[in-house]
């Protein structure tokens, strides 16, 4: 009898006890408590002079600077420039990556021609191409957009390609017994079947885009968040640098949320999503 386990309703630790007070808020507040506490410590360290504000600005100072930069239009302008670059680069990577993945995923000849060179290229660290890109394309928008595209294309291509290749052959057999045309097979089996992998790739691609953009803008640019931060470095404005970091952080979080949202819509058929929606 010693190995008997009784499972009751309150087994789960996150179970909310029923009572007059709402403990729901308490549980969710707990998640935010420790970041808030850390920020408070940071502020306290700065205020007491324990941390030199020359090295690290205080959270309050960052908030003030952030507001000032927004008011005078510096932040919105640079943010707009950066967003446009990221979107253009990502758009280019999406178009090319999807096209190449379809070619190599859907035909044997296509795979032979497309896959090998891409597999070789992907082993090159994209950032090592920065000097070459500046030599080739100068210092305008082109090298920045191309760098973003270069970084983002591989996750998109690789994931979509492997998604297409890993479609269950039993489903393809079924499709052929139902007499599906080639186009119907692609539309109804290959593409939706590869969508989960594609979205995973897209998530990586967005992350890589921001990273490539930071580098591109810090190496050589007259505008953009990265440029704003590099400029601040010359004047030892750690507050502006930290505002830039904060913006990158928020952008990263937001883009992740967008992809999650896309997954919730397009992958509603997955059992895990079904559960998420009903609980």
Partner 1 sequence: MTALKAAPQDAAVSIQQLTKRFDGGSPVLDRLNLAIAPGEFVALLGHSGSGKSTLLRTLAGLDPVTEGIVTRPQRVSVVFQESRLLPWKKVWKNIVLGQEDAGTRQRAEVVLEEVGLSHRTNAWPATLSGGEAQRAALARALVREPAFLMLDEPFAALDALTRLKMQQLVADLWKKHGCAVFLVTHDVDEALLLADRAVVLEQGQIRVDLPIPLSRPRKHSDGDLEALRTTLLNALGVHGA
Q: Is 276 in the site for partner 1 (CB under 8 A)?
A: no
Q: Is 184 in the site for partner 1 (CB under 8 A)?
A: yes
Q: Is 99 in the site for partner 1 (CB under 8 A)?
A: no
Among 87, 113, 124, 270, binds partner 1 (CB under 8 A): 270
For residue 95, the SS3 value is helix
For partner 1, the closer of residues 71 and 270 by Cβ is 270
For partner 1, the closer of residues 165 and 237 by Cβ is 165
Size of the site for partner 1 (CB under 8 A): 22
Q: Is 188 in the site for partner 1 (CB under 8 A)?
A: yes
For partner 1, the closer of residues 14 and 177 by Cβ is 177
DSSP state of 125: -
Q: Is 173 in the site for partner 1 (CB under 8 A)?
A: yes
**Measured between alpha carbons, how far is 240 from 235 in angstroms, rounded to an integer?**
10
For partner 1, the closer of residues 136 and 269 by Cβ is 269
**Measured between alpha carbons, how far is 82 from 215 in angstroms, rounded to an integer?**
12
Q: Is 178 in the site for partner 1 (CB under 8 A)?
A: yes
Among 56, 92, 134, 171, binds partner 1 (CB under 8 A): 171
Among 7, 271, 277, 279, binds partner 1 (CB under 8 A): 271
- Report the Cα 34 to chain-centroid distance in Å: 24
- Report the Cα 3 to chain-centroid distance in Å: 46
Per-position DSSP letters for 159-224, written without gaps between them: HHHHHHHTS-HHHHHHHHHTT--HHHHIIIIIHHHHHHHHHHHHHHHHHHHHHHHHHHHHHS-SSS
For partner 1, the closer of residues 194 and 242 by Cβ is 194
Query: Measured at the alpha carbon of residue 276, what is the angle toward residues 273 and 279, in degrees to the nearest 5?
Result: 150
**Measured between alpha carbons, how far is 171 from 12 in angstroms, rounded to an integer?**
39
Nearest to 61 by CA among 75, 78, 47: 47
**Measured between alpha carbons, how far is 28 from 17 in angstroms, rounded to an integer?**
14
Query: Which of these ranges, 43-51, 126-134, 184-192, 232-240, lies near partner 1 under the rule CB under 8 A?
Result: 184-192
Query: Which of these ranges, 70-78, 107-115, 180-188, 219-227, lies near partner 1 under the rule CB under 8 A?
Result: 180-188
Q: Is 186 in the site for partner 1 (CB under 8 A)?
A: no
Q: Is 166 in the site for partner 1 (CB under 8 A)?
A: no
Q: Is 233 in the site for partner 1 (CB under 8 A)?
A: no
Are residues 225 and 247 in contact, defined by beta-carbon separation less than 8 angstroms? Answer: yes
Per-position DSSP letters for 25-83, written without gaps between them: HHHHHHHHHHHHHHHHHHHHHHHTTSS-TTTS--HHHHHHHHHHHHHTTHHHHHHHHHH
Among 64, 92, 98, 180, binds partner 1 (CB under 8 A): 180
Query: Which of these ranges, 19-27, 104-112, 242-250, 264-272, lies near partner 1 under the rule CB under 8 A?
Result: 264-272
Nearest to 190 by CA among 201, 180, 177, 203: 180
For partner 1, the closer of residues 125 and 271 by Cβ is 271
| Least distance between partner 1 and beta carbon 273 (Å) | 9
Are residues 198 and 156 in contact, defined by beta-carbon separation less than 8 angstroms? Answer: yes
Site residues, partner 1 (CB under 8 A): 170-171, 173-181, 184, 188-189, 192-193, 195, 268-271, 274
């Amino acid at each position: 009898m010693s190995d008997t386990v009784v499972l009751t309703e309150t087994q789960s630790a996150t179970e909310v006890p029923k009572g007059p007070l709402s403990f729901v808020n308490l549980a969710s507040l707990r998640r935010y408590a420790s970041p808030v506490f850390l920020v408070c410590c940071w502020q306290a360290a700065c205020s007491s002079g324990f941390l030199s504000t020359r090295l690290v600005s205080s959270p309050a100072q960052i908030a003030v600077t952030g507001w000032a930069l927004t008011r005078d239009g510096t932040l919105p302008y640079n943010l707009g420039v950066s967003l446009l670059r990221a979107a253009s680069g990502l758009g280019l990577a999406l178009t090319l990556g999807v096209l190449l993945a379809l070619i190599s995923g859907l035909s044997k000849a296509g795979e032979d021609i497309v896959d090998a060179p891409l597999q070789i290229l992907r082993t090159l660290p994209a950032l090592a191409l920065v000097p070459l890109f500046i030599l080739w394309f100068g210092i305008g928008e082109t090298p920045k957009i191309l760098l973003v595209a270069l970084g983002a294309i591989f996750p998109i291509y690789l994931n979509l390609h492997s998604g297409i290749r890993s479609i269950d052959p039993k489903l393809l057999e079924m499709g052929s017994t139902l007499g599906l045309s080639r186009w119907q097979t692609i539309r109804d089996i290959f593409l939706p079947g590869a969508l989960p992998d594609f979205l995973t790739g897209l998530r990586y691609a967005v992350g890589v885009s921001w990273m490539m953009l930071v580098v591109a803008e810090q190496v050589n640019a007259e505008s953009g968040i990265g440029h704003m931060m590099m400029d601040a470095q010359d004047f030892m404005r750690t507050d502006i640098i930290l505002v830039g970091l904060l913006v990158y952080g928020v952008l990263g979080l937001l883009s992740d949320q967008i992809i999650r949202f896309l997954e919730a819509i397009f992958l509603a058929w997955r059992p895990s999503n079904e559960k998420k929606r009903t609980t």
